Structure 1
Amino acid sequence: MDSTLTRSRLVRWYIAICAIFLASGLSIATWASRVPAIRESLGIENSGVGLLLLGMGVASISGLTVAPAVMARLGARRGMLAALLCVAVGVAVIGFGSDVLQLFGVALVGLALFGFGNGAVDVMMNVEGAALEKATGRTVMPLLHAFFSFGTVIGAGIGYLAVLGGVSVVAHAAAMGIVIAVVAFAAIANVPPRESAKDAPADEQRAHWRERLATSLSAWREPRTYTLGVIMLGMAFAEGSANDWLPSAVVFGHGAPEEAGPAVLAVFSVAMTAGRLAGGPVVDRFGRVWVLRILAVTAAAGLLLFIIAPFGPLVYIGAALWGLGASLGFPIGMSAAADDPAKAASRVAAAATIGYVAFLCGPPILGWIGDHIGLLNTLFIVVGLIVASGLFSGAAKPLTVPESENETVGRRD
């Protein structure tokens, strides 16, 4: 089906997937930038925030787990739309529950909706990204993930302005929820239906959805899925811990004013975005393995500087190195999972699941540990995981796929 795409439709597909990545990043930064205010409004400590994150993490794992089934049943297009609308509603409920009702349970429900939607859409948008990479014949996954980072930059910037301007959490969250919903409808309208994404037109014969689900889950029986997962584990921890805990670490760990939290998060996000914008050509020039090793060293060094330095310019520099070093781990893992086009969808879904389990479930654990040893000391754990990711970078070495198989897939897709 993909071979029938015109150039203009391919461009619209490209822009649509970029917009979906951006919306996901925007939602996460909206939540992260207001964590200190939400914490104060609800009257909770780090462990309470950790419990909120745990609820979001459990819901996110559920979204990750059911994403292949959603794709098999509804297709990627309708699945992504439903997931993004769930995110939009969840963001609004977080603001209403924490700022208006000041009820922990309502905020938790909002985070569950937010987490479930983001977990599901993360798998599906990465599957779409891998297909787009094959359709264009270029390394585009880092650029797609750069748009996720664009979303976090925009979200952190809006959060910073909202704090400075005294905008309430509920007004901020409601506005962002509306924006995400609008982006969802506009983007999905430009995603072409594809058989490999389980959303072929109704007049085409397809295998039963249970057979398509079994194909989607087949990657979990492959050892390479788990070796790639180690790479993504460390880098997802590096990114997830920043999104959820960096503002709190700045405010409550370094003793900085509240507006410094989203400001440092913005520096982290800008650095990550810059790394992803330059990532495609750099990976093509030096190869996945060496790029991952160098960036692991960069991320570990930056995080150490962020932890150890007193609040000031060095903290901002550490956040920048941390963001730059963590920028390509996830997109390179996605590209590696998609090396074989015949199995790209199932492998990308499995690899994304491993990465996002760390991305979403790691921060709640860090919050619980942070109550005992402090947030800054807790981040030393993330340094160790980044080092482990670098040590396992050899798993991202490109696979050799038979040319005949590539040609067959090209005709089918």
Structure 2
Amino acid sequence: MTSSRIAVAAAFVVNGALYGSWAARVPALADQAGAGTGGLGLALLGPSVAMILTASPAAKACARWGARPVLALCLPAACLLLPLLGLAGSVWTLGLALALLGGLMGAVDVSMNIGAVAVVRQLDRPLMPVFHAGFSFGGLGGSLGAAVAAALAVEPAVQFGVIGVLGLTAVLATVRAVPGERPAAEERPSGGYRQVMSRGRLWLLAGIAVCAAVAEGACAEWSALFLVDARGFGEAGAAAAYSVFAVAIAVTRLTGERAQRRFGPYRLLVGSGALAASGVFLAAVVPSGFAAYTGFALAGIGLAFCFPLAMDLAGAAGREPGGTGGERELGFVTTVAYAGLLGGPPVIGGVATLTGLPGAMALAGVVAVLIVPAALGARRLRPPVVLPADPVRS
């Protein structure tokens, strides 16, 4: 029988693989749809907006019916929709397919994180970073598969069909073990989202998630161009730097349980934010290849824990006496994080236009630094109890 831990981990891996598969084939999708730079930009805006719009309703649905049915509906639907994305023949159909896929993946993000919170509570183990490692490795696997498909001139629809079938098979085999069945009526969270939005600690946790996502996105999306244009790297060397960053995040997340038990989530967030900022600044300021690779590796190690811990603490903030709850809080933090992430790339791009790519990368370092005061503020506002995943009151 599949354990709840394996089932939730499978959802993270499949979701990451779906994302890595289509994101790495954007150039092929743009050529197939005849999309220019402007049209492609609008099409890529669709999934971000859709994720913002679906995060809160998904959290409400999880609070009412449980995480399992939401995940069981949305993740298979995303697997089935992915091959249709590969058939998009115009900018409009590409944008529509991406928006639908983004909406589904937003709901999947919320429900799988709520399922992960339930596993953390069941096992009394701080496993959230480890679950997010599954997403990272899934994304790496999906992108590597996309690279092989592109090298072999395989059409996106064929590649997406294979990934969709594999993902659907994995989900159907494990989803019944996902925790989060419909809560009993007396255990369902009371109050509305207005009450959640009035809690300063949740805004700080959302700020941590935003900063982590923006800094991670800047490193992932701008590092290659930065190294080619500002440091004189070849395309292969620049791609290798991104690989160093991505692998550092994935591998570091596997150590999350031990690190969180030793330092506690707040110390870990403060140290991680400082390390991430130091790495980004090193890559942005010191003009050498060794500094670039070292900086992006340090940035990956630092950013690895920030987003998962923000999700973990958000779920813990809404825990009910019966051991349930946290859906609204996690949905709120996710929605704010997505909204902030939507504005991140245009801001980074604007700074790059005004000051050059080194200035834009330095801005990503400033964003990472903001994780430190946000974590200290959230720690100060925490309730006077020891959380199950926070054995060290630090």
TM-score, normalised on structure 2?
0.82
Match of 2:116 in 1: 129
Asked whether the equivalents of residues 63 and 119 of structure 1 are also in contact (C-alpha less than 8 Å), the reply is: yes
Q: Report the residue type matching 1:330 in the other structure.
A: F
Q: How does 1:361-380 map to 2 (within 5 A)?
A: 362-363=344-345, 366=348, 377-380=359-362
Match of 1:296 in 2: 273
Q: Specify which of 55, 59, 70 is matched with residue 64 of structure 1.
A: 55
Match of 1:85 in 2: 76
Q: Report the residue type matching 1:29 in the other structure.
A: G
Cα distance in 2 for partners of 1:216, 1:350 equals 8
Structure 1's unaligned 5+ residue stretches are 1-7, 407-413
**Residues 35-77 of structure 1, C-alpha deviations (whole Å, 9 max, x = no match):** 3444455565655443233211111111112112332454311
CA distance change for structure 1 residues 353 and 190 in 2, over 3 Å: closer, same or farther?
same
Q: Report the residue type matching 2:275 in the other structure.
A: T
Cα distance in 2 for partners of 1:184, 1:275 equals 25
Q: Report the residue type matching 2:60 in the other structure.
A: A
Cα distance in 1 for partners of 2:343, 2:6 equals 30
Q: Specify which of 154, 157, 160 is matched with residue 170 of structure 1.
A: 157
Cα distance in 1 for partners of 2:72, 2:230 equals 38
Match of 1:3 in 2: none
Asked whether the equivalents of residues 336 and 397 of structure 1 are also in contact (C-alpha less than 8 Å), the reply is: no
Q: Quick check: 53-62 or 341-350, which moved more? A: 341-350
Q: Quick check: 238-247 or 47-56, which moved more? A: 238-247
Q: Specify which of 164, 170, 177 is matched with residue 183 of structure 1.
A: 170
Match of 1:270 in 2: 247
Q: Report the residue type matching 1:81 in the other structure.
A: A
Cα distance in 2 for partners of 1:114, 1:232 equals 22
Secondary structure, in 3 states, of the residue corresponding to 2:268?
Answer: helix
Matched, 1:330 2:317: no
Q: How does 1:5-404 map to 2 (within 5 A)?
A: 12-39=3-30, 41-42=32-33, 47-97=38-88, 101=89, 103-194=90-181, 199-200=182-183, 206=185, 214=191, 218-244=195-221, 246=223, 263-307=240-284, 314-340=291-317, 341-342=319-320, 343-360=325-342, 362-363=344-345, 366=348, 377-397=359-379, 399-400=382-383
Q: Report the residue type matching 2:314 in the other structure.
A: A
Residue 327 of structure 1 deviates from its aligned partner by 0.5
- Cα RMSD over matched residues? 3.4
**Residues 226-261 of structure 1, C-alpha deviations (whole Å, 9 max, x = no match):** 011121111011223445555666678778676667
Cα distance in 2 for partners of 1:45, 1:303 equals 31
**Residues 134-173 of structure 1, C-alpha deviations (whole Å, 9 max, x = no match):** 1111111111111111112212322333333333333222
CA distance change for structure 1 residues 381 and 13 in 2, over 3 Å: closer, same or farther?
same
Cα distance in 2 for partners of 1:302, 1:325 equals 8
Q: Quick check: 228-237 or 32-41, which moved more? A: 32-41
**Residues 68-87 of structure 1, C-alpha deviations (whole Å, 9 max, x = no match):** 23324543112112221343
**Residues 337-367 of structure 1, C-alpha deviations (whole Å, 9 max, x = no match):** 2335215333222222222333455336545
Structure 2's unaligned 5+ residue stretches are 389-394
Residue 107 of structure 1 deviates from its aligned partner by 1.4
Cα distance in 2 for partners of 1:91, 1:375 equals 33
Q: Report the residue type matching 2:339 in the other structure.
A: V
Q: Report the residue type matching 2:338 in the other structure.
A: Y
Q: Report the residue type matching 2:162 in the other structure.
A: A
Q: Quick check: 334-343 or 74-83, which moved more? A: 334-343
Residue 267 of structure 1 deviates from its aligned partner by 2.5
Secondary structure, in 3 states, of the residue corresponding to 1:302?
Answer: helix
CA distance change for structure 1 residues 85 and 345 in 2, over 3 Å: closer, same or farther?
same
CA distance change for structure 1 residues 216 and 246 in 2, over 3 Å: closer, same or farther?
same
Cα distance in 1 for partners of 2:303, 2:154 equals 31
Identical aligned pairs, as a percentage?
28
Match of 2:391 in 1: none
CA distance change for structure 1 residues 70 and 262 in 2, over 3 Å: closer, same or farther?
farther
CA distance change for structure 1 residues 245 and 40 in 2, over 3 Å: closer, same or farther?
farther
Residue 111 of structure 1 deviates from its aligned partner by 1.2
Asked whether the equivalents of residues 120 and 126 of structure 2 are also in contact (C-alpha less than 8 Å), the reply is: yes
Cα distance in 1 for partners of 2:336, 2:247 equals 25
TM-score, normalised on structure 1?
0.79
